[in-house]
Amino acid sequence: MRIDDAVVLDLHGVTDKTAFMNRCVRALPLPSWFGRNWDALADSLADMREPLAVVVTGWQAYAEASPQDWAIAQEVFSAAARASSQGLAVLLSLGHLEDPTAPPAQGSDDSPAPPVPPPVGQ
């Protein structure tokens, strides 16, 4: 399993379990029998035939809107990773995949990217 081959589970805009399961169906290589419930998700992820790395992005709004469901989702990911015979890694993205030249967020310790000079002759 290589992180370069990771599947992105983008949860931007997700605030409930139904939307979470719908995103899982679209992003993850789940079997046709997947029943859009926690047990089916745990079983499907644990039974993958090949190693799988999943990067979960935009999860913060879901965690805030549905904290109990988000706690269950984390436990499902954890249990599936432990049970997987092929190797499952689930990584939570703590940042945004944005323009690296944008100024850092307020309160950030990062220094801003140096300005890019205009092309010669302009």
The model's pLDDT over 17-28, given as tens digits with 9 standing for 90+, comes to: 999 999 999 999
pLDDT reported for residue 108: 38
Q: How confident is the model at residue 5 (pLDDT cuts 50, 70, 90)?
A: confident
Instruction: Identify the bridge partners of residue 19 per DSSP, sorted by sequence position.
Output: none
Contacts with 110 (C-beta within 8 Å, 6 or more apart), sequence order: 104
For residues 101 and 63, which has the higher predicted lDDT (pLDDT)?
A: 63
Residue 114 has pLDDT above 80, yes or no: no
pLDDT in tens, 22-50: 999 999 999 999 999 999 999 999 998 89
Taking a C-beta distance cutoff of 8 angstroms, is the pair 59, 11 a contact? Answer: yes
For residues 48 and 102, which has the higher predicted lDDT (pLDDT)?
A: 48
